[in-house]
Amino acid sequence: MTELTQTEWYKDAVIYQIHVRSFYDSNDDGIGDFKGLIQKLDYIEFLGVNTIWLLPFYPSPLKDEGYDIADYMSINPIYGTLRDFKKFLKEAHARNIRVITELVINHTSNQHEWFIKSRSAKPGSYWRNFYVWSDTAEEYSDARIIFRDFEPSNWTWDHIANAYYWHRFYAHQPDLNYDNPAVQKEIFKIVDFWLGLGVDGLRLDAIPYLFQREGTNCENLPETHEFLKKLNRHITSKFENRFLLAEANQWPEDAVNYFGKGDECQMAFHFPLMPRMYMAVQMEDRFPIIDIIEQTPPIPQNCQWAIFLRNHDELTLEMVTDEERDYMYRMYGQDQQMRINLGIRRRLAPLMGGDRRKIELLNALLFSMPGTPVMYYGDEIGMGDNIYLGDRNGVRTPMQWSNDNNAGFSNATPQKLYLPVIIDPEYNYQAVNVNLQQQNSQSLLWWMKRLIEVHGLYIAFSRGTIEFLNSDNTKILAFYRIYKEQVILVLINLSRFTQSFKLDLSKYANHSLTEVFGKSSFPIITDIPYFFVLCPYGFLWLEINKPDTQHKIAATHKHEVLSIKDKWCDLLASSEKKKLEKILAHYLVDCRWFRAKNHAIAKVAITDNILIKNSATPVYLLLVNVEFNDKEAEQYFMFITAETNEDNLYASDQPAKIICSLVDKNKKISYLIDAMYSLVAWKEVFHLFSANKILAGANGNLEVKANGLYKKIVSHQDESIEIKALAVEQSNTSILYGKTALLKIYRRCEFEENPEVEISQFLAQQKDFKSSKIACTLKYHYKNKMMTVGIVQEYIPNEGNAWEYTVNSIANLIEQMDLSIPAKITSSRVYPWQKIIPSLPKEIVESLGLYAHTVIILAERTAQMHIALAAETDNKHFATENFSLFDQRSLYQSLRNAFIKTSALFKSATIKLDDVLQKKINKFTTDKDLLLDQVKAILRHKIGGRKIRCHGDYHLGQILYTGNDFVIIDYEGEPGRPLSERKIKRPPLRDVAGILRSFHYALYTVLNNKTVFSTAHHFDAEEWYCWICHLFINTYLEYPGIKNLMPKETECFALLLKAFMFEKVLHEIEYEINNRPDWLYVPCKGLIQLLE
């Protein structure tokens, strides 16, 4: 909790109402219990609610669901023991979940020892005065009978006492006598007992009925409010941050009195609002909601309404007019079995006829209204009811966890269950259960989880005011929720049809609108009425942003400060973890390896932590799950540690990446950092990986598997060996151990073997091909799934990579070469994807200078790699396959999709190219058929050739230069693609296209360096690039065995190469538009080459 929410935390709560007996049975007796509830706390935490409201769990005859209490200070044995309750409370608090319990103080069970003593005591005696007795049943005749379906009077004759006793509810629930100070004293003892155990709040059941006075309706009497003030003073004098929730089923003007001046109850239920939300949806009219909100008086600053859709009782219709009650019965309670007392005994989903849209709409309405939302267990999955069970038991059936026996609630025989599970065909537990919905991200459960998360991000929902907007369309409910400078515009379509409407938003002219779930931007608000369209039962939550904050992202992340009690690793405990997770949400966007920088993070969760090294400087591996508003979730690995010496943060070439600052109880400052930059820690960790081991985590484990090579490349004795993090910016992180071993950590991860492990191990078996061998694998296991964390491989000494070598070589070549290539050659430029030129003119090769030899070696190494990957094997993952007509059609479809997407990108981009290039690109964006005809050529012939496991992300940066040779590395494929996609077999020419495009980029990198190119004004870059491509292709095709993998016909070869060149260029254009617009001209030139 933040400082803001500490003292008034109930304002920011989302309450989840549970009956212990309904939730989960741990001992197979057919009844839920506290041990079962403890087992399901992880689910409640997953849902995102932060407060649990428990129905009565005290000893009771259970004639009224436990509201008939026989002992206030113990636990009903069927639910467990007081020790079980204390453990539940501790476990809930460890998850930052608060707990509210029931305090039923209006009445007791007739089995309570107080009543047993009272009925036997003499009139006027100590115990007799604990309850309200009379010799006649005529007193307080103006008080209404609440349960008129069951009770004929508020008085019942007791044959032992020979007198009538007063009860506002069932006859087995006699009312306590609050005119007796001894009763109040006992109630205070009960309050002290439960709050002393750590309970966070108390719901005061049936609070309006504590006192009786002749000539009144015996509700909301001044004496009741005096008692509540006295109770409030008693609690605040002894306990901090506790609150009272009044259950006062009254009209707003009466219910508001239970707040007093902020000195009675801090919360009260808004009963009249609840039925009017249902009425508004059924009538398709906003009036019932606006009318009741406008009738609601202001409340004290420290108070809050509790708002709800359903609970354990009937959908009460006491606080509606007779006409409205009749309407509600006709619409929602047609069958007499659905009605009880003055209400309807149905759950939310059946009330909505199972209509998912209406269920979502009502929940969105609930979470939009002023107040703290209260959810009833099971409604988040759309549980059904059984109207044929007695009383209100139809809405109190067992929670539906799975499609196993008894809905996964209990292993008892079905006959032992306290109530039967729902087997109605529409809401059968086999179709409606937690397990199924947790596995389906489109389920109601996940939708509710997202709603709760987004609601929690905007304090305007929990603490803001409400301001209704007028629209000519009465089917539209529109209002602002405002807290200080935060403004949310809420739009609700109450109709079953699409609605259009206009709103005057001119008070926020020049502000922008952002939809809060997907972060979609809407047009700027002007003085002209804003036009909206909402789908049937649709809604929008739109944040109104100031002009200067539009699209603003907190890019500069100042180090937040976290307080720690003792050890920093305590942050990984569930009670503290959420603080760290919020900080990580900011930290991740600044990390090079975090790929989703352009997507709004909805939530970060640490799903596992594994202690890698336990010492004075412990290192932990974290598995971090990142959820987004507009795309599927991603998982990342992080290693973290703490550094106490600030100087060490900057001791190496790579300064430490600071996550946050830490301050302990002694005010000592340390820093939580990315452990990949703590070289001291990693030297020890390298040694730990020398032997096979399994390191257990909170949920999964890390398997370290080293082979004989590891001990050869990692020395245990030499403490002088230098360790450093490589400065190369990439999607992974690498650490160099001396000059012999390299640790690579795959930051983004999926439950599957990384392609680099598979390919490296396969290539290690090919003796004729030189590659870096793996010495150790780090794999994370969870249940039956596995993902690759990283590898330790032999380090290949080098002088840099082929990209750097190429850039330097081209720069030198341009400064020294004779730039005049014969006109007869330049006039007929032909690229290899147009036509193969088997023998290049001698003067062309000479014009390439010494770099021609480099191109030849690179082509040979590329061919050797493909021959090695195509080696004969029994491994089905590496066995070669034919490139079929089906594959050709699939490739065409991929290119078609890419063309259309890129064309749309060009149209929306504001990037300006030079006039000639812009004119050519405009033709591309306007003439779709011209483009598609180019690619359609791939469908006109049977191409042929073979498919193999390719490198997948092949370019000059993936090839090391050793000083006299080149070695290919990094076989993990393109990090932005899913692992399964990277493993798809493809024609080798896909890799070839990658390196040809890399040559093109290298050339323009040199040309952009004005100092290098100042003397070469007439250099024809495209001419030079053309011949580089030809030399590479010719050398590649001449390598022994490579033609066995290629299409037989040269025309088909050219077609396939051209298709993959198109694929690469279109991908580059998308990347440059989104990331490096100044470089867009390079792939645009490449696109023009292909089109012309």
> Distance from first CA to last CA of the chain, Å, rounded?
63
Distance CA 11, CA 733 (A): 43
Number of neighbours of residue 236 by Cβ within 10 angstroms: 13
Q: What is the DSSP letter of 338?
A: G
Distance CA 104, CA 871 (A): 78
Which residue out of 205, 219, 391, 627 is catalytically annotated?
205
Distance CA 137, CA 133 (A): 10
| Amino acid code (one letter) for 162 | N
CB 537 within 8 A of CB 493: yes
Give the 3-state secondary structure of residue 376: strand
- 775 Cα distance to chain centroid: 36
Q: Hey, what are 520's tokens?
A: 């979609």
CB 269 within 8 A of CB 296: no
Residues in the chain: 1092
- Identify which of 810, 801, 676, 657 has the alpha carbon closest to the alpha carbon of residue 742: 676
Distance CA 853, CA 25 (A): 75
Distance CA 608, CA 890 (A): 39
DSSP string for 377-422: TTGGGT----TTSSTTGGG-PPP---SSGGGGS-SS-GGGSSSPPP
Q: What is the DSSP letter of 499?
A: E
CB 101 within 8 A of CB 203: yes
Contacts of 297 (CB under 8 A, 6+ apart): 252, 253, 256
Burial of 442 (0-12, 13-18, 19+ CB in 10 A): exposed
| Amino acid code (one letter) for 113 | E
Contacts of 669 (CB under 8 A, 6+ apart): 646, 661, 662, 663
Distance CA 99, CA 51 (A): 6
Catalytic-residue membership of 247: yes
Which residue out of 8, 68, 247, 970 is catalytically annotated?
247
Q: What does each C-alpha distance from 1059 to 353, 542, 829, 999 come to in angstroms?
A: 53, 44, 19, 18
Backbone angles phi, psi at 18, to 5 degrees: -135, 140
Upper half-sphere CA count for residue 934 (Cβ side, 13 Å): 23
Pair type for strands 539-545 and 486-493: antiparallel
| Amino acid code (one letter) for 616 | A
Beta-bridge partner residues of 737: 723, 741
CB 654 within 8 A of CB 725: yes
Contacts of 614 (CB under 8 A, 6+ apart): none
Q: Hey, what are 746's tokens?
A: 């795959």
Distance CA 124, CA 105 (A): 22
Q: What does each C-alpha distance from 992 to 242, 763, 894, 1053, 1058 come to in angstroms?
A: 69, 19, 18, 12, 11
Catalytic-residue membership of 467: no
Distance CA 420, CA 410 (A): 11
- 1056 Cα distance to chain centroid: 41
Give the 3-state secondary structure of residue 854: helix
**Residues with catalytic annotation?**
205, 247
